[in-house]
């Protein structure tokens, strides 16, 4: 049943933690690349209306170089295209790792529980708990974001608790929590 070498509970938990860490690393890289692409697009939008002969400066390998808009704009567009290709490849890797993690969870019947201290902790911890819940219930992403965004801290605990405990009817649990908050 499953991957070779995963004979006891500790091995299964360690492998699950490794998969989660790999997914977090890939997602972090993907976010960094997306931020770079957005920065490049902002530069492109800024440079397009300018004259081609106008001076501009470009950072190349940590050195600020004086060029013209006509020289810089094609290079920035080319870099942006390359960054977008890398971004698309990373997105595929993230999706594949999510599928692998979900398959592993289902194979070993792993349930992620969100502890009370996690919910009462920092926003980063709540964000991590929210990510774990979303990985498990990917189809309900929009509804969970709407619930989490608009609820006060006490109600967030109720929403996440109801969401993770009511595994048979996710819609009614989310709808009940949404109705309580309005």
- pLDDT tens digit string along 124-143? 444 555 555 444 444 344 45
User: In residues, how long is the chain?
Assistant: 182
Q: Residue 6 — very low, low, confident or very high, per pLDDT cuts 50/70/90?
A: confident
C-alpha to C-alpha distance for 173 and 1, rounded to whole angstroms: 33
Give me the percent of the chain exceeding a pLDDT of 90. 51
- Strand intervals (E) in 17-142: 55-60, 63-68
Q: Residue 26 — very low, low, confident or very high, per pLDDT cuts 50/70/90?
A: very high
Who's near 113: CB < 8 A, 6+ residues apart? 164
The pTM for the full model equals: 0.61
C-alpha to C-alpha distance for 107 and 5, rounded to whole angstroms: 15
C-alpha to C-alpha distance for 53 and 71, rounded to whole angstroms: 9
Q: Using alpha carbons, select from 38, 78, 43, 36 the residue that is nearest to residue 57.
A: 43
Q: Looking at the predicted structure, is the pLDDT value of residue 119 above 60?
A: no
Instruction: Taking residues 170-181, report their average pLDDT.
Output: 42
pLDDT for position 123: 47
Contact indicator for 8, 58 with CB cutoff of 8 Å:
no
Helix spans in the chain (H): 9-47, 69-107, 116-120, 123-136, 141-150, 153-165, 170-181
C-alpha to C-alpha distance for 90 and 22, rounded to whole angstroms: 12
């Amino acid at each position: 049943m499953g991957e070779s070498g995963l004979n006891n509970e500790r091995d299964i938990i360690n492998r699950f933690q490794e998969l989660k860490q790999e997914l977090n690393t890939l997602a972090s890289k993907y976010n960094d690349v997306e931020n770079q692409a957005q920065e490049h697009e902002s530069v492109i939008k800024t440079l397009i209306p300018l004259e081609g002969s106008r001076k501009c400066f470009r950072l190349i390998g940590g050195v600020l170089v004086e060029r013209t808009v006509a020289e810089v704009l094609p290079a920035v567009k080319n870099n942006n295209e390359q960054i977008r290709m890398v971004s698309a490849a990373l997105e595929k890797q993230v999706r594949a790792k999510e599928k692998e993690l979900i398959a592993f969870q289902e194979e070993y019947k792993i349930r992620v529980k969100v502890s009370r201290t996690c919910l009462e902790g920092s926003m980063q911890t709540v964000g991590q708990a929210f990510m774990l819940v979303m990985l498990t219930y990917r189809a309900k992403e929009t509804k969970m974001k709407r619930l989490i965004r608009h609820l006060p801290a006490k109600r967030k605990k109720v929403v996440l608790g109801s969401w993770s405990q009511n595994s048979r009817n996710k819609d009614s649990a989310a709808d009940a929590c949404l109705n309580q908050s309005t």
